[in-house]
Amino acid sequence: MTAPILNEIQLDMLTEIFNIGIGQAAASLSEMIADNVELSVPLVKCLPLDEASLELAEMTATTISAVSQSFEGEFSGSALLIFPQQDSLELVKAILGTNVSLEQLSELEEDALLEVGNVILNACICTISDMLECEIIGEIPTHQQGTTKQVLSRSSLDDTAYVLLLSMIFSIPHHDIKGTISFVMNMGALQTFIALIDRYTEKLLH
Amino acid sequence: MTEAEHQGYRDQRETFSMLALELLDSGVVVINQSGKIILWNQWMANVSAISGQQALGHDINSVFDGKIKGRLIQAIDYALYKQLSSLLSSSLNRYTLPLYSQPTDSSAQPAEAIAQSITVKPLLNHHGDKYCLVHVANVTDVIKRETLLKQQGDDLKQLAHDKAVSEFRSLGIIENSLDCIMSFDQRGLVQNYNPAAAQMFALPSQMTKKLSFQSIVASLNSYSGLDIVNVIDSLGYTSSHVGTKWPEAIGVPTSGDTFPIEIAIISTEIDQRRLFTAVIRDISAQKETEQRLTQLARYDFLTGLANRAYLYERLELSISRVRRDKHPSALIFIDLDHFKTVNDTRGHSAGDELLRHVANCLTDVIRDVDLAARLGGDEFAIILENSGGKSQVGLAIERLCKSLATPLAIEGEEVTISCSMGICIIDETVTDCDELIKSADIAMYQAKSKGRNNYQFYSTELRQKSEIKLSLENALREATKTESLHLHYQPIVDIQNKRLAGIEALLRWDHPELGSIPPVRFIPLLEEIGLIGEVGEWVLKTACTQHKSWHDRGLVDENCTIAVNFSAKQFKDIETARMIDKILSESKLASELLNIELTESVLMASHRNPGEVLHELKKIGLRLSIDDFGTGYSSLSYLRKFPINNLKIDRSFIEDINNDNSTKAIVKTIIDLAHNLGLTVIAEGIEEPYALNFLKQHGCHLIQGYLIARPMSIEKFEDFCRAKNWQLESYDQSLLPNP
* Interface pTM, i.e. ipTM: 0.70
- The Cα-based distances of B1 to B14, B15, B16 in angstroms read 18, 20, 20
CATH number of the domain enclosing B21? 3.30.450.20
The answer to whether A125 contacts chain B (CB < 8 Å) is yes
Let me know whether B682 and B642 are in one domain: yes
Q: Which of B87, B92, B95 is nearest residue A141 as measured by Cβ atoms? A: B87
DSSP structure class, residue B614 = H
Low-confidence spans in chain A with pLDDT less than 50: 1-2
Q: Chain B window 132-171: which residues touch A at a Cβ cutoff of 8 Å?
A: 146, 150
Residues whose CB falls within 8 Å of the CB of residue B262, separated by 6 or more in sequence, listed in order: B245, B246, B247, B248, B249, B280, B281, B283
Residue numbers in B near A140 (CB within 8 A):
85-87, 119, 121
The answer to whether B115 contacts chain A (CB < 8 Å) is no
- How many residue pairs bridge chain A and chain B with CB atoms within 8 Å of each other? 56
DSSP structure class, residue B285 = H
**Closest Cα of chain B to A118: distance in Å?**
6
Let me know whether B334 and B264 are in one domain: no
**Closest Cα of chain A to B27: distance in Å?**
17
* B85·A140 Cβ contact <8 A: yes
* A122·B92 Cβ contact <8 A: no
φ, ψ of residue A142 in degrees (nearest 5): -125, 160
The reported pLDDT for the residue numbered A33 is 75
Does residue B66 lie in a domain region?
A: yes
- Among A32, A109, A115, the strongest candidate for a mutation testing the B interface, having the largest count of B CBs within 10 A, is A115
The answer to whether A114 contacts chain B (CB < 8 Å) is yes
The answer to whether B582 contacts chain A (CB < 8 Å) is no
Q: Which of B227, B260, B287 is the last residue in one of the domains?
A: B287
Residues whose CB falls within 8 Å of the CB of residue B442, separated by 6 or more in sequence, listed in order: B422, B458, B462, B463, B466
* A137·B122 Cβ contact <8 A: yes
Residue numbers in A near B86 (CB within 8 A):
118, 122, 140
Residues whose CB falls within 8 Å of the CB of residue B712, separated by 6 or more in sequence, listed in order: B488, B489, B490, B720
**Cα B486 from Cα B538, distance rounded (Å):** 10
Reduced DSSP (H G I as helix, E B as strand, rest coil) percent helix, strand, coil of chain A, to 5: 55, 30, 20
Does residue B149 lie in a domain region?
A: no
* A115·B92 Cβ contact <8 A: yes
Q: Which of B252, B287, B322 is the last residue in one of the domains?
A: B287
**Cα A91 from Cα B522, distance rounded (Å):** 121
Longest dimension (CA), chain B: 212
**Cα B82 from Cα A2, distance rounded (Å):** 33
* B119·A115 Cβ contact <8 A: no
Low-confidence spans in chain B with pLDDT less than 50: 223-226, 606-607, 730, 732-739
**Cα B178 from Cα B281, distance rounded (Å):** 8
Residue numbers in A near B83 (CB within 8 A):
73, 129, 135-138
User: Which among B566, B493, B558 has a CA at the least distance from the CA of B523?
Assistant: B566
Provide the residue count of chain A.
Answer: 206
CATH number of the domain enclosing B553? 3.20.20.450
Rounding to the nearest 10 degrees, give the CA dihedral for residues A9, A14, A19, A24.
Answer: 130
**Cα B303 from Cα B363, distance rounded (Å):** 10
Q: Give the tens place of pLDDT for each residue, B40-58.
A: 999 998 888 888 888 899 9
Residues whose CB falls within 8 Å of the CB of residue B382, separated by 6 or more in sequence, listed in order: B330, B331, B332, B334, B362, B366, B370, B371, B372, B373, B400
The reported pLDDT for the residue numbered B36 is 92
Let me know whether B589 and B698 are in one domain: yes
Let me know whether B275 and B316 are in one domain: no
Q: Which of A114, A125, A135 is nearest residue B87 as measured by Cβ atoms? A: A114
Assigned architecture for domain A8-201: 3-Layer(aba) Sandwich (3.40)
The reported pLDDT for the residue numbered B23 is 85
**Closest Cα of chain A to B76: distance in Å?**
12
- The Cα-based distances of B152 to B139, B161, B734 in angstroms read 20, 14, 150
Residue numbers in A near B89 (CB within 8 A):
108, 111-112, 114-115
Does residue B224 lie in a domain region?
A: yes
Q: Chain A window 43-82: which residues touch B at a Cβ cutoff of 8 Å?
A: 69, 71, 73
Q: Give the tens place of pLDDT for each residue, B585-638.
A: 999 999 899 999 988 777 766 445 667 777 788 888 888 888 888 777 666 777
Q: Chain A window 92-111: which residues touch B at a Cβ cutoff of 8 Å?
A: 107-108, 111
Give the residue from chain A lying closest to B90, CA to CA. Answer: A111
Query: In this structure, which amino acid lies at residue B442?
Result: I
The answer to whether A139 contacts chain B (CB < 8 Å) is yes
Let me know whether B718 and B569 are in one domain: yes
Residue numbers in B near A137 (CB within 8 A):
83-85, 122
Let me know whether B279 and B421 are in one domain: no
**Cα B333 from Cα B374, distance rounded (Å):** 10
CA-based angle B294:B296:B300, to the nearest 5? 125
Cβ-based burial of B166 (10 A; exposed 0-12, middle 13-18, buried ≥19):
exposed
Q: Which of B108, B138, B168 is the last residue in one of the domains?
A: B138
CA distance between the termini of chain B? 209
Let me know whether B316 and B379 are in one domain: yes
Which residues span the domain enclosing B194?
A: 177-287
Q: Are B119 and A114 in contact (CB under 8 A)?
A: no
- Among A137, A142, A143, the strongest candidate for a mutation testing the B interface, having the largest count of B CBs within 10 A, is A137
**Cα B194 from Cα B185, distance rounded (Å):** 16
* B91·A136 Cβ contact <8 A: no
Residue numbers in A near B91 (CB within 8 A):
107-108, 111-112
The answer to whether A204 contacts chain B (CB < 8 Å) is no
Let me know whether B538 and B611 are in one domain: yes
Q: Which of B87, B91, B146 is nearest residue A118 as measured by Cβ atoms? A: B87
Let me know whether B575 and B678 are in one domain: yes
Give the residue from chain A lying closest to B81, CA to CA. Answer: A126
**Cα B360 from Cα A70, distance rounded (Å):** 113
φ, ψ of residue B456 in degrees (nearest 5): -130, 140
Give the residue from chain A lying closest to B146, CA to CA. Answer: A107
With H, G, I as helix, E, B as strand and everything else as coil, classify residue B651: helix
The reported pLDDT for the residue numbered B734 is 47
User: Which among B96, B94, B150, B146 has a CA at the least distance from the CA of B118?
Assistant: B96
Q: Which of B83, B87, B91 is nearest residue A107 as measured by Cβ atoms? A: B91
User: Which among B108, B120, B103 has a CA at the least distance from the CA of B48?
Assistant: B103
Let me know whether B552 and B498 are in one domain: yes
Other CB atoms within 10 A of residue B224 CB: 10
With H, G, I as helix, E, B as strand and everything else as coil, classify residue B203: coil
User: Which among B500, B586, B510, B576 has a CA at the least distance from the CA of B542?
Assistant: B586
* A139·B85 Cβ contact <8 A: yes
Give the residue from chain A lying closest to B89, CA to CA. Answer: A111
**Closest Cα of chain A to B241: distance in Å?**
40
String of b and e for B712-734 (b: at least 16 CB within 10 Å)?
Answer: beeeebbebbeeeebeeeebeee
- The Cα-based distances of B510 to B457, B478, B487 in angstroms read 32, 12, 11
Let me know whether B616 and B728 are in one domain: yes
Q: Which of A73, A108, A122 is nearest residue B86 as measured by Cβ atoms? A: A122
Let me know whether B544 and B608 are in one domain: yes
User: Which among B708, B713, B699 has a CA at the least distance from the CA of B728?
Assistant: B708
**Cα B319 from Cα B662, distance rounded (Å):** 60
* A112·B90 Cβ contact <8 A: no
Does residue B737 lie in a domain region?
A: no
* B83·A136 Cβ contact <8 A: yes
Q: Give the tens place of pLDDT for each residue, B654-686.
A: 888 888 888 889 899 989 988 988 899 999 988
CA-based angle B75:B78:B79, to the nearest 5? 90
The answer to whether B58 contacts chain A (CB < 8 Å) is no
**Closest Cα of chain B to A124: distance in Å?**
11
User: Which among B206, B330, B218, B327 has a CA at the least distance from the CA of B263?
Assistant: B218
Number of domains forming the structure of chain B: 4
Residue numbers in A near B119 (CB within 8 A):
140
Q: Which of A112, A118, A126 is nearest residue B82 as measured by Cβ atoms? A: A126
Residue numbers in A near B92 (CB within 8 A):
108, 111-112, 115
* A135·B87 Cβ contact <8 A: no
With H, G, I as helix, E, B as strand and everything else as coil, classify residue B737: coil
**Closest Cα of chain A to B51: distance in Å?**
29
Does residue B420 lie in a domain region?
A: yes
